[in-house]
Structure 1
Amino acid sequence: MTIEEQKFIQKILAELAQKAAENSAKAAKDGDFERELKVATKAIETTKEPDVEGFKKRLTELGAAGFLSQMNEQKIQEKLRAKKEELMEALGLNADMKQSLRSELEAVLDELLAKYEKELRASLQSNSLLEKQQSLQNKNSSMLGAALGIV
């Protein structure tokens, strides 16, 4: 072997070694990416909010109408609690009052809350009726347009 052949062989071996090192570095980098991807997806799965899962479960159990009805009932109860607190402060109901005066004021408070609840339910019902009427109008106008060939 001549010196030129040896230099040529060394050059080829050096290039092969360099390519092998690059390939192993690339494989390690790809492995790191895969590992990071798995860790990230696990973190996303574990941090999924329980509210979302609970929402999905309740929605499938109750159906859309039942879920909406339950949600509206919860809103009404929350508004009633807030109104009761507001009225208790306005009427000055506290533990220091005489029992007779307190019971009279609580009766008035219950009456006011009952009226407020009726108003909330009537408002909710009128809103749902209005939405139904609008959806029927939209449906009828689209059916009429389809019948007349209007797009």
Structure 2
Amino acid sequence: MGDIGLTEEVQQLFAVVEANFRGHLGYLLKHAQLRMAELSEEALAPYGINGRELAVLLVLAGHEPASQHQAAQRLGIDRTTMVALLDTLESKGLVSRHPHPHDRRRNVVEVTEAGRDTLRPATVASDEAERKFLAPLNSQAAQHLRDALQYIVTGPGSETSTF
């Protein structure tokens, strides 16, 4: 832990806590996710979006036109979060929403031309961030990690269905 103005005693306490949790799966997953998020944020910054917004664009581009509800289900997020993400993407001109032609209770969401122009290079940048994240592993270990996580997320006993 770098020097951020903490007393030596507090820094030592943090070191002990970190050492005690280092082998725990929850700790490892959290810190791996934080590292991946850091790399993704850095990679996506030039495109004015974050990882969650990229995920929405990817889901919408693959299933257009989609209702807000369908997109939220595919992402495994709640309605309120989806509305907030779409509000942000719409304010950036990357998606558009309009009433469903046959069901006025539903909104149809589509990726705009600007959204598609952003999606292509942002996806490449995100893929590069993932490569950086996995760089300490050889290709076989990286694939094993992907496979194991995919199985945990979507395999028997998983309660959620995400993309």
TM tier, smaller: 0.3 to 0.5
Of the two, which has the highest radius of gyration?
Answer: 1
TM-score, reference length from structure 2: 0.32
TM-score, reference length from structure 1: 0.33
Larger helix percent = 1
Higher relative contact order (CA 8 A, sep 6+): 2
